[in-house]
A and B are shown apart, each in its own frame.
Chain A
Amino acid sequence: MAELVSIASQIRRDIVRMVHGANSGHPGGSLGCADFFTALYFNVMKHNPAFNMNATNEDVFFLSNGHISPVFYSTLARSGYFSIGELATFRKINSRLQGHPATHEHLPGIRIASGSLGQGMSAAIGAALAKKLNNDPHIVFSLHGDGELDEGQVWEAVMFAVHHKVDNLISTIDWNGQQIDGPTDKVMSLGNIRQKFDAFGWTTLEMNGNNMDDVLATLNKAKSLLGQGKPIGILMHTVMGKGVDFMEGSHEWHGIAPNDEQLARALAQLPETLGDY
């Protein structure tokens, strides 16, 4: 547990440093999801950093809200998919670390491009169906933004997953209540998300995505509920910008980079635990 919290702190440092280094990127959602990524890649998922695209006999994760690529890249590097030094190339020319995740430059750990929103749950369902056809008992995980639920394709996927009993899928919604233009309640009200997922026929859980104990317990509970004919949804309450006080809870930090002074203030709040890249 303490080790996971320590890893998450380093990932948060990586995030703010990457976004500062590129002078562009999306720190808010990335910081909010750092605990979730840490729990997945350093505890919950059975995965192999010796990357194979087909994810044969391993769990697989899809990031649908691709703009939080900094947390994904840091997690993959810190898990051994590629060197942590490569994080310094984020969003720069000739880099494998594109602004949004892509397979085009063959970055290990990325299995499909995301960025244009709403497509990731469908892709995850496809991978889950392939696992069933291949008699591969491993799990497919996916992550989605709450603002992303505005996209109609997500609900096409939600309906499909129930109809086809995709019960090897755990899809998590990052419910931070913020999107680019403001709070989700102002931009496009999501209503009662839990009731919506329940009504579609999902098994739905909720957790505090910034509490490592709760994240681990809920992900493990979700795993225990697989194989019962239903997809599992987790509504993950997070604080956008979590860990950096002046970024917390504001959509203003969805997609802008800290300046030098802001970087220093952010890093002062995030202990260096594994060594900076």
Chain B
Amino acid sequence: MLKEIQSTGNKDTRSGFGDGIAEVARKNPNIVALTADLAGSLKLGQFIKEFPDRFFQCGIAEANMISIAAGLTIGGKIPYTCTFANFSTGRVYDQIRQSVAYSGKNVKICASHAGLTLGEDGATHQILEDIGLMKMLPGMTVIVPCDYAQTKAATEAIADFVGPVYLRFGRPVWPIFTSDKPFEIGKAQFFSEGTDVSIFACGHLVWYAIQAGAILEEKGVSVEIINMHTIKPLDEERVIKSIRKTKCVVTAEEHNIIGGLGDAIAQCAAKNFPVPIEYVGTKDTFGESGKPIELLKKYGLDIPDIVAAAEKVMARKNG
């Protein structure tokens, strides 16, 4: 039962990144970190303390940082670039496109403060388009872990994965619930198996999807909750298997419904097994200032929104 899934604590996903990079750097001497004046926000303190010679402060110059990272790979380094998601993607799209993706460089673009849950800083910093930007780039792997434990695991896993990676995480303190679940790049993670509806979620909304699933179960719905932490490459095999069974889908993400996880699932469904889909995400809009929880509620990304989407899509399926 989904209501039995408990959090084992609360922590921000960016701390999972900070702890993960320090841990993996102890094992792999080729890992280096770069930041554009956001070492503190990205929780790089421990890494810098232990590996000062492998840390490069770039100042507020993200374009330079991305291309330097590409250059560092020529010499066998594994650079992790560390800044907010907005400055990790839209601001430096051409640098990533030419110097990293087209050039096939082993750069790890690590992006914090993604989505609405950045909160009070408002829409200038709340990027809701980054998953789409990154997944369009040929050869780019896109990973959106859901809690502290998974962010730490993903931060470590990408070191051994050869190729450019976009790793997206966030700012708010959030429940931890995957400490005992193994993380594997590209492999969808199931929290429940069901037959009535598939709910695919990523990032912070995985926890909300589990809560929504528990409510649906109490109403007698057999719900399948899947954490799609890897949006590209999409685990098509498990997605198709799930939707063949449930025949309807809800996607939930802290991102514009255009270009994100929902789009990826819809494309997979359209190509393989078309089913009704409802999208939980921002509806082609910018965000605004506010507390993270307030924003998720205002923009329709709350637990009741996922429940409502599930009920709607099941009605469409049956209707």
* Mask: chain A, 109-133; 1 = CB below 8 Å from B; 0 = not: 0011111101110111111111101
The yes or no answer to B187 lying at the interface (CB within 8 A) is no
Q: Contacts A113-B99, A134-B76 hold; do A123 and B63 have CB atoms under 8 A apart?
A: no
List the A side residues contacting B105 at CB < 8 Å. 112
The yes or no answer to A97 lying at the interface (CB within 8 A) is no
Assess the B70–A123 pair: CB atoms within 8 A.
yes
Q: Complex Cα distance A80/B77, Å?
A: 27
Which chain B residues in 71-100 approach chain A with CB under 8 Å?
71-77, 79, 94-95, 97-99
* Mask: chain B, 214-245; 1 = CB below 8 Å from A; 0 = not: 00000000000000000000000000000000
Contact of B102 among A102, A127, A136, A159 (CB under 8 A): A102
Q: Complex Cα distance A55/B71, Å?
A: 11
- Number of B interface residues, CB 8 Å? 32
Assess the A60–B74 pair: CB atoms within 8 A.
yes
Q: Complex Cα distance A163/B98, Å?
A: 26
* Mask: chain A, 191-233; 1 = CB below 8 Å from B; 0 = not: 0000000000000000000000000000000000000000000
List the B side residues contacting A115 at CB < 8 Å. 98
Assess the B72–A130 pair: CB atoms within 8 A.
yes
Q: Contacts A112-B71, A159-B59, A160-B64 hold; do A119 and B98 have CB atoms under 8 A apart?
A: yes
Contact of A126 among B61, B63, B72, B97 (CB under 8 A): B72
Q: Complex Cα distance A134/B72, Å?
A: 11
List the A side residues contacting B70 at CB < 8 Å. 112, 122-123, 126
Instruction: Give min CB distance, B156 to chain A, whole Å.
Output: 21
Q: How many A-B residue pairs have CB under 8 A?
A: 120
Interface SS of chain B: helix, strand, loop or mixed? helix
Q: Contacts A113-B99, A119-B95, A126-B70 hold; do A54 and B104 have CB atoms under 8 A apart?
A: no
Which chain A residues in 77-125 approach chain B with CB under 8 Å?
102-104, 111-116, 118-120, 122-125
Contact of B103 among A55, A113, A157 (CB under 8 A): A113
Instruction: Give min CB distance, A137 to chain B, whole Å.
Output: 13
Instruction: Give min CB distance, B316 to chain A, whole Å.
Output: 43
Contact of A157 among B64, B75, B79, B104 (CB under 8 A): B64
Which chain B residues in 129-158 approach chain A with CB under 8 Å?
none
Contact of A133 among B63, B75, B97 (CB under 8 A): B75
Assess the A54–B103 pair: CB atoms within 8 A.
no
Q: Contacts A126-B71, A129-B71, A130-B75 hold; do A112 and B99 have CB atoms under 8 A apart?
A: yes
Q: Complex Cα distance A153/B36, Å?
A: 13
Instruction: Please give me the residue from chain A that is nearest to B30 by CB atom.
Output: A133
- Number of A interface residues, CB 8 Å? 39
Stretch at the interface among B50-58, B197-205, B296-304: B50-58
Assess the B77–A130 pair: CB atoms within 8 A.
yes
The yes or no answer to A53 lying at the interface (CB within 8 A) is yes
The yes or no answer to A46 lying at the interface (CB within 8 A) is no
List the B side residues contacting A156 at CB < 8 Å. 58-59, 61, 63-64
Q: Contacts A53-B74, A133-B32, A133-B54 hold; do A126 and B69 have CB atoms under 8 A apart?
A: yes
Q: Complex Cα distance A175/B102, Å?
A: 29
Assess the B95–A160 pair: CB atoms within 8 A.
no
List the B side residues contacting A136 at CB < 8 Å. 75
Q: Complex Cα distance A160/B94, Å?
A: 20
Assess the A114–B98 pair: CB atoms within 8 A.
yes
List the A side residues contacting B53 at CB < 8 Å. 133
The yes or no answer to A164 lying at the interface (CB within 8 A) is yes
Contact of A103 among B59, B63, B94, B103 (CB under 8 A): B103
The yes or no answer to B67 lying at the interface (CB within 8 A) is yes
Q: Contacts A123-B99, A134-B76 hold; do A153 and B104 have CB atoms under 8 A apart?
A: no
Q: Contacts A112-B103, A113-B102 hold; do A160 and B58 have CB atoms under 8 A apart?
A: yes
Instruction: Please give me the residue from chain B that is nearest to A102 by CB atom.
Output: B102
Assess the B74–A125 pair: CB atoms within 8 A.
no
Contacts A56-B76, A119-B63, A122-B63 known; 16 new A-B pairs at CB < 8 A: A102-B102, A102-B103, A103-B104, A104-B102, A112-B99, A112-B103, A113-B103, A116-B94, A122-B71, A123-B71, A123-B74, A126-B68, A126-B75, A130-B71, A153-B95, A160-B64
Q: Which residues of B contact A (CB under 8 A)?
A: 32, 53-54, 56, 58-59, 61, 63-77, 79, 94-95, 97-99, 102-105
24 residue pairs A–B, Cβ–Cβ below 8 Å: A60-B74, A62-B71, A103-B104, A112-B74, A112-B103, A113-B99, A113-B103, A114-B98, A115-B98, A123-B71, A126-B68, A126-B72, A126-B75, A127-B75, A129-B56, A129-B75, A130-B72, A130-B73, A130-B74, A130-B75, A133-B77, A134-B75, A157-B68, A160-B58
Q: Which residues of A contact B (CB under 8 A)?
A: 53-56, 60, 62, 102-104, 111-116, 118-120, 122-131, 133-134, 136, 152-153, 156-157, 159-160, 163-164
